[in-house]
Amino acid sequence: MGNIELVIIIQNRCLETWFLGNRKIYTRNPHDNPLLEYTRYYDVSIDCPELMGQYQNFNTHAQFHEAYLKELFRAKNINYSKRNPGDVIKLFYLEQLLDRIEYENTHLPTFSKFIEFCNMIKSKLS
């Protein structure tokens, strides 16, 4: 096996939290609830999604983050579910997340650590 290094990557909240980092999915002026309420509570297009709290009537942060993501997609007539994630598994979506962490280096810090880890593995496999 050779040298083995244990790397612990802490994810702040859930995958949907990271997915909220794509600024291209935002409706700039949401008019319908609950998206309007969510945006007024915390605008993830401006602020780091990992720092977003738990909105009222949700049992967990993760439930709220998933609901927020679904509403953002619904506003664009796109479906999202854990079983059928759609656009979030496409290259263009990942590229938007990478742009976010490059230009907003304090945003999505646990996603950034995950990407650093992936790049390290990639370099060792090359």
Residue at token pair 């619904």: 74
Question: Which residues, given as ranges, of the chain have pLDDT below 70?
Answer: 1
* pLDDT score recorded for residue 1: 58
Distance CA 32, CA 73 (A): 13
* pLDDT score recorded for residue 28: 85
- Evaluate whether 80 touches 70 at the Cβ level (below 8 Å): yes
How long, in residues, is the chain? 126
- Per DSSP, 54 falls in state P
Q: What is the pTM of this model?
A: 0.94
- Evaluate whether 97 touches 18 at the Cβ level (below 8 Å): yes
